[in-house]
Amino acid sequence: MKEQLAKIRAEALSAMENAQSAAELDGLRVQYLGKKGELTAVLKMMGKLSPEERPAMGQLANEVRAALESAIEEQGKRLEAKALEERLAAEAVDVTIPGKAPKLGHKHPMYLALDELKDIFIGMGFTVLDGPEVELAEYNFDKLNAGEGHPSRDWSDTFYFDKDSRVMLRSQTSPMQVRAMETMELPIRIIAPGRVYRKDEVDATHSPMFHQVEGMVIDKNVTMADLKGTLNTVVEQLYGKGTKTRFRPHHFPFTEPSCEMDVQCHKCGGVGCPTCKGEGWIEMLGAGMIHPKVLKMSGIDPEVWSGWAFGIGLERTAMRRFKIADLRLIFENDVRFLEQF
């Protein structure tokens, strides 16, 4: 029995010292000290010894058990320390490594153009308004002097939500003229940028959704000269000093007289080229003096007050500003295109 104990002791200690993991160590504990363990088996045989032999053998067995238990404890601590060290090494953060710069995006070219426009108008004392895209036909048409039967009210041109054609996606930002007249104190100077919707097929210059910037001034003694002077100033600030404009008579139900303003072609300088379709000029906006009927419908006395309004297509303004050839590029959001601005 003595030899047996010595053999167990030597084997167990060497195995325990070489254990590589907590699981392996626990396996050895069970193998030697568990209920069916090797040392336990020897201890069970104690009863068969003579009373003289028993005390010495018992002491020896207890010593072996104590040696194994402390070996387990020590190796356990060693393994724990090793694991901690490995984890610290693996999780070490080198604070001296330069950081990764996050990739920053930037504004869409159309909004860059809008920001420029806003800056110019804010500098002239205009307020920027936001308005609903889902609009009442009353505001989009009736109060702008485009009564029942006006061609732009047709279902082939406008997106309606109801069969009575009362609620619609606004087809222009001009309803913001009415909303401003109804809610703001006079005099008024506003611009109102935003999305508008028309039933157009997508091509290089058309989209069923596009953006306009509406502008309006109402004050005493406002004339067409103010309209021309203001818009010429805006164009020079946007496209450079000396950029020429031309005003052509036009018709809008809510302005009288009405006009369209063209800008001299940036590509050919007015000689005529494919960009301006040989015209030398590119249409930029619609404008006019606010119709006295429109003022009256919003409760403003046309004998005292007068005003003008305009509506610019924002995509086309951006296309000209950044020399973009196709409207679809503005909406496709291809980063290879957007990264160029």
* Residues near ligand PHE, by CB under 6 A: 172, 174, 214, 252, 255, 286-288, 309-311
Which long-range contacts (C-beta less than 8 Å, at least 24 apart) are formed by 221-227?
221/306, 222/305, 222/306, 222/307, 222/308, 223/289, 223/306, 224/257, 224/289, 224/308, 226/308, 227/287, 227/288, 227/289, 227/308, 227/310
**Identity of the residue, 37 or 288, whose beta carbon is nearer to ligand PHE in the bound complex:** 288
Closest approach of ligand PHE to the CB of residue 327, in Å: 16
**Identity of the residue, 63 or 157, whose beta carbon is nearer to ligand PHE in the bound complex:** 157
**Identity of the residue, 32 or 254, whose beta carbon is nearer to ligand PHE in the bound complex:** 254
Closest approach of ligand PHE to the CB of residue 308, in Å: 8
Residues 6 or more apart whose CB falls under 8 angstroms from that of 312 comprise 117, 212, 213, 215, 284, 285
Closest approach of ligand PHE to the CB of residue 233, in Å: 18
Report how far residue 72's alpha carbon sits from residue 39's, in angstroms, rounded to the nearest whole number: 14
Angle between helices 2-17 and 22-33 (to 10 degrees): 170
Closest approach of ligand PHE to the CB of residue 254, in Å: 6
**Identity of the residue, 80 or 154, whose beta carbon is nearer to ligand PHE in the bound complex:** 154
Structure tokens given for 74: 């020590």
The single-letter code of the amino acid at 56 is A
**Identity of the residue, 32 or 197, whose beta carbon is nearer to ligand PHE in the bound complex:** 197
DSSP 253-303: TTEEEEEEEEEE-TTTTTS--TTTTTSSEEEEEEEEEEPHHHHHHTT--TT
**Identity of the residue, 19 or 238, whose beta carbon is nearer to ligand PHE in the bound complex:** 238
Closest approach of ligand PHE to the CB of residue 139, in Å: 12
Closest approach of ligand PHE to the CB of residue 206, in Å: 13
Report how far residue 82's alpha carbon sits from residue 91's, in angstroms, rounded to the nearest whole number: 14
What phi and psi values does residue 94 have, to the nearest 5 degrees? Answer: -90, 100
Report how far residue 318's alpha carbon sits from residue 325's, in angstroms, rounded to the nearest whole number: 10
Closest approach of ligand PHE to the CB of residue 341, in Å: 26
**Identity of the residue, 39 or 192, whose beta carbon is nearer to ligand PHE in the bound complex:** 192
CB–CB of 206/227 below 8 Å?
A: no
**Identity of the residue, 193 or 286, whose beta carbon is nearer to ligand PHE in the bound complex:** 286
CB atoms within 10 A of CB 297: 17
Structure tokens given for 261: 């303003």
Closest approach of ligand PHE to the CB of residue 171, in Å: 7
